[in-house]
Chains A and B, each alone.
Chain A
Amino acid sequence: QPVLTQSSSASASLGSSVKLTCTLSSGHSSYTIAWHQQQPGKAPRYLMELEGSGNYNRGSGVPDHFSGSSSGADRYLTIFNIQSEDEAVYYCETWDSNTWVFGGGTKLTVL
C-alpha cells in the first residue's frame, strides 16, 4: 500500500506564500491525493483533489489562494497571501483498492 510523507512543521509570514509537500512512496508516484486542512479544535476540511498530472479540483467554497501542483512523486499545496486563519495542520490522503492512508500532517505556523 502507498505511504505518504510530510514534513512535521512549516512557518510563513502573514501575506507571504508557502509550499507544503507530500511525497508518495516508491511505486505509487502516479497516485491522486487529496489535501485537507484541520484548524485547531475543528474537524478536517477538504481542500482539493490533486492528480499526478498537476490538475486539481478545489472543494466547494475553498478560496483560490489555495492551489496544487505535482512533480514526480511529490504533491504540493501552495497557499498564497497567507492569513492568520490558515494556521492549521495540513494532511494529504491517498487510496488504493482496499485501503486509505494519510500523511502525518504538516503544522503550519503563521508568523
Chain B
Amino acid sequence: EVQLVQSGGGLVKPGGSLRLSCEASGFTFTDTWMNWVRQAPRKGLEWVGRIKSKIDGGTTDYAVPVKGRFTISRDDSKNTLYLQMNSLRTDDTAVYYCHIPTVTSAGAYWGQGALVTVSS
C-alpha cells in the first residue's frame, strides 16, 4: 500500500524558514517523480514544484511564486522528500501536500498534508 507520511508544519514568522518532510513507502521511491502542492485557506490547489527521479536527472522546477525561496530535495536512501522554505511570507500560509503524479506512477497519491502558518 502506498503511503506518504508528512511532518514538519507549524507557525513561523515572516522572513523565517521551515522544512517539511514526506516519508514514502509501498512503492519504488527511487524511480518516482514527486511534487509539492499547496492549498491556501479556502482556496484551490496550487502546484509548488517537482523533483525528478535521479535516473531522470534529479532536476527540480518551481512555480513562479516560490522560485528562489523554496528548495525541493530527496534522500532516496531514506525514501524521503523534503521542502525547504526560506524567506516565508504571509501568503505562503497553506496546507502543503506531497503528491505522486501519474507521470512515473500507475496512479497518483497524496500525503495527509502539513499546515504552515506564516504570521507575526
What residues make up the interface of A, taking CB atoms closer than 8 Å to B? 32, 34, 36, 38, 43-46, 49, 57, 59-60, 89, 91, 93, 95, 98-105
Q: Which residues of A contact B106 (CB under 8 A)?
A: 57
Q: How far is the CA of A56 from the CA of B66 in the complex (A)?
A: 33
In the assembled complex, the Cα of A66 lies from the Cα of B94 at a distance in Å of 29
* Interface bin, chain B: 20 to 34
Known A43-B112, A43-B113; contact A100-B107, beta-carbon cutoff 8 A: no
Whether a CB of chain A sits under 8 angstroms from the CB of B117 is: no
With beta carbons under 8 angstroms apart, the residue of A34, A44, A57, A101 that contacts B47 is: A101
| Residues from 1 to 50 in B contacting A, C-beta threshold 8 Å | 35, 37, 44-47, 50
CB distance from B4 to the nearest CB of A (A): 9
Which residue from A44, A91, A100 sits with its C-beta under 8 Å from B101? Answer: A100
Return 17 A-B CB contacts under 8 Å, by A number. Answer: A34-B108, A36-B110, A38-B45, A43-B111, A43-B113, A44-B110, A46-B109, A49-B102, A59-B107, A59-B108, A60-B107, A93-B101, A95-B103, A98-B61, A99-B61, A100-B47, A100-B101
